[in-house]
């Protein structure tokens, strides 16, 4: 009743407000139509604007007061309706009490008539019996209705209890699933964190090893560069004879003694045997991109058009793999560069070059994009010799970011693994114009 009264009141207020708003708009439109556009003074218009802005709070307060008044009237209407309903209920109760009193009074008069008519007729007795029978039937009907209501209530209560039990079981099952899922997620998270921590630790160890290796190789390169500079300086001093002591030969002049080629025997040795099998010494400059910005080391492979060679150390032959297998994810995240992993220098033993010339390209393995250095063409093995525990070669292959010796395999076998590693440590110096060490002197100069 109260909700309906509020709805009616709000509708009446809305209609009244709409009518007033429409009337005001119509009046304004009519006034505008009659008067037409009028040119007004700008100062007057500005004053009207400020006046309108000043009147706005008053208008809004008036609107709020009207809304509150409408709400109060709606509440009063609702209270009035409630009072009417309560009065109607009281009237109905009084009416029922009056009817009950009249019935009781009539029954009393009937009983009194029955007592007075001691000689009650058979008809009155039958009437009383009939009334009694009807009362019994009414009582039985009421009892049956009550029993039915109780039974239906019990069924409803049982259904409600079963539904509640089902909801409880479902809630417990959902809670158990949630706990299990949370436990599983937490376990996965712990496993991932442990795996990440292991990988982070491994990465840090690898980074430290690579940093140490980079520092060692950088120190070797620095020392080799210093020795090379010193050797160049000594060679220029030792091998530049005065012009007055050795004039060019001329007709009738002194004849020069023939010069001995210290590489002649080496050249013969280098070209003996199977010249297609070689050992390649590779010394790479550290990269400057990706993971090499901070880890100044490398994972070198040596590749050609068919695949790549992977080092097995200075004493074992290198392994050859097709390109996909050599540079694929399995080796990138696995064995990587074999014996040359995390090293700027590498020994590739017993490589069969096949028919010459052949192109070779060093590659530094990274994670996503490998660092492919410029390819170089090998026309023939270098002129090399092994002497006094050292290996010396001419015709070094040099690029902007790596140096490479191509040594005949028989000479590399004669020199041994220690000499190969020593040549890498010394930076693979080019012996093209260097003086050889004297036999038994124990010195190493370029």
- Say what percent of the chain tops pLDDT 90: 35
- Regarding whether 201 and 328 lie in a shared domain, the answer is yes
- Regarding whether 430 and 290 lie in a shared domain, the answer is yes
- Regarding whether 365 and 224 lie in a shared domain, the answer is yes
More confident residue, 202 or 394: 394
pLDDT on residue 255:
37
- Regarding whether 77 and 192 lie in a shared domain, the answer is no
Q: Which of 81, 96, 122 is the last residue before a domain boundary? A: 81
Helix (H) or strand (E) holding 5: helix 2-35
pTM check: above 0.75:
no
Tokens of 126: 């039958």
Say if 330 falls within a structural domain.
yes
pLDDT band at 234, cuts 50/70/90?
low
Closest residue by Cα to residue 402 from 372, 435, 431, 382: 372
Query: Across all residues in the chain, what is the average pLDDT?
Result: 78
More confident residue, 273 or 157: 157
- Regarding whether 328 and 206 lie in a shared domain, the answer is yes
DSSP 8-state secondary structure symbol assigned to residue 381: -
What is the distance between the alpha carbons of residues 311 and 319, in angstroms, rounded to a whole number? 6
What is the distance between the alpha carbons of residues 106 and 112, in angstroms, rounded to a whole number? 10
The number of domains in the chain is: 2
Say if 241 falls within a structural domain.
no
| C-alpha count within 13 angstroms, C-beta hemisphere, residue 347 | 22
Say if 426 falls within a structural domain.
yes
Tokens of 306: 């068919």
3-class SS of residue 401? coil
What is the distance between the alpha carbons of residues 396 and 382, in angstroms, rounded to a whole number? 7
CB 256 within 8 A of CB 249: yes
- Regarding whether 319 and 414 lie in a shared domain, the answer is yes
pLDDT band at 217, cuts 50/70/90?
low
Tokens of 353: 């070059």
Say if 416 falls within a structural domain.
yes
DSSP 8-state secondary structure symbol assigned to residue 441: T
- Regarding whether 291 and 170 lie in a shared domain, the answer is yes
* pLDDT tops 80 at residue 22: no
DSSP 8-state secondary structure symbol assigned to residue 271: T
- Regarding whether 72 and 214 lie in a shared domain, the answer is no
DSSP 8-state secondary structure symbol assigned to residue 2: H
Say if 301 falls within a structural domain.
yes
* pLDDT tops 80 at residue 277: yes
β-pair partners for 371: 364
More confident residue, 109 or 294: 109
- Regarding whether 313 and 179 lie in a shared domain, the answer is yes
* pLDDT tops 70 at residue 272: no
- Regarding whether 211 and 63 lie in a shared domain, the answer is no
What is the distance between the alpha carbons of residues 294 and 210, in angstroms, rounded to a whole number? 9
* pLDDT tops 60 at residue 446: no
DSSP per residue, 395-409:
S-EE-SSEEEEEEEH
More confident residue, 66 or 217: 66
**Phi, psi at 317, each rounded to 5°:** -65, 145
391 to each of 26, 160, 223, 438, how far by Cα in Å? 112, 97, 17, 14
3-class SS of residue 196? helix
Say if 184 falls within a structural domain.
yes
Range of the domain at 413: 165-232+273-436
Say if 38 falls within a structural domain.
no
- Regarding whether 431 and 316 lie in a shared domain, the answer is yes
Tokens of 65: 């007061």
Say if 74 falls within a structural domain.
yes
């Amino acid at each position: 009743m109260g909700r309906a009264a509020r709805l009616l009141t709000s509708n009446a207020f809305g209609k009244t407000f709409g009518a007033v708003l429409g009337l005001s708009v119509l009046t304004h439109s009519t006034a505008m139509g009659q008067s037409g556009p009028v040119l007004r003074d700008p100062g007057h218009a500005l004053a009207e604007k400020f006046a309108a802005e000043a009147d706005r709070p008053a208008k809004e307060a008036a609107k709020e007061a009207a809304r509150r008044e409408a709400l109060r009237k709606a509440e009063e209407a609702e209270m009035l309706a409630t009072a009417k309903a309560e009065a109607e209920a009281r009237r109905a109760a009084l009416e029922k009490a009056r009817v009950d009193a009249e019935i009781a009074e009539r029954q009393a008069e009937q009983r009194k008539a029955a007592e007075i008519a001691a000689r009650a007729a058979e008809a009155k007795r039958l009437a009383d019996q009939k009334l009694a029978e009807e009362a019994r039937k009414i009582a039985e009907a009421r009892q049956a209705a009550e029993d039915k209501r109780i039974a239906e209530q019990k069924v409803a209560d049982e259904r409600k209890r079963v539904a509640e039990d089902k909801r409880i079981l479902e809630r417990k099952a959902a809670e158990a699933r949630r706990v299990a899922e949370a436990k599983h997620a937490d376990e996965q998270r712990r496993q991932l964190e442990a795996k990440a921590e292991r990988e982070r630790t491994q990465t840090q160890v690898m980074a430290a090893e690579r940093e140490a290796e980079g520092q060692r190789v950088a120190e070797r390169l620095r020392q080799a560069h210093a020795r090379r500079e010193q050797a160049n300086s000594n060679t220029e001093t030792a091998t530049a004879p005065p012009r007055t002591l050795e004039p060019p030969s001329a007709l009738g002049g002194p004849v020069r003694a023939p010069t001995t080629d210290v590489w002649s025997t080496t050249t013969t040795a280098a070209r003996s045997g199977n010249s297609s099998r070689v050992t390649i010494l590779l010394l790479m400059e550290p990269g400057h991109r990706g993971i090499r910005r901070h880890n100044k080391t490398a994972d070198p492979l040596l590749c050609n058009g068919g695949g790549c060679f992977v080092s097995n150390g200075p004493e074992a032959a290198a392994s050859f793999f097709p390109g996909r297998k050599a540079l694929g994810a399995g080796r990138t995240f696995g064995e990587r560069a074999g014996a040359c992993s995390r090293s700027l220098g590498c020994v590739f033993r017993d490589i069969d070059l096949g028919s010459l010339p052949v192109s070779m390209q060093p590659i530094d393995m990274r994670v996503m994009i490998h660092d492919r250095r410029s390819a170089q063409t090998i026309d023939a093995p270098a002129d090399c010799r092994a002497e006094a525990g050292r290996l010396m070669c001419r015709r070094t292959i040099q690029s902007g970011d790596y140096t490479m010796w191509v040594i005949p395999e028989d000479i590399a076998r004669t020199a041994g693994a220690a000499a190969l590693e020593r040549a890498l440590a010394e930076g693979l110096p080019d012996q093209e114009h260097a003086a050889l060490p004297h036999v038994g002197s124990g010195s190493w100069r370029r």
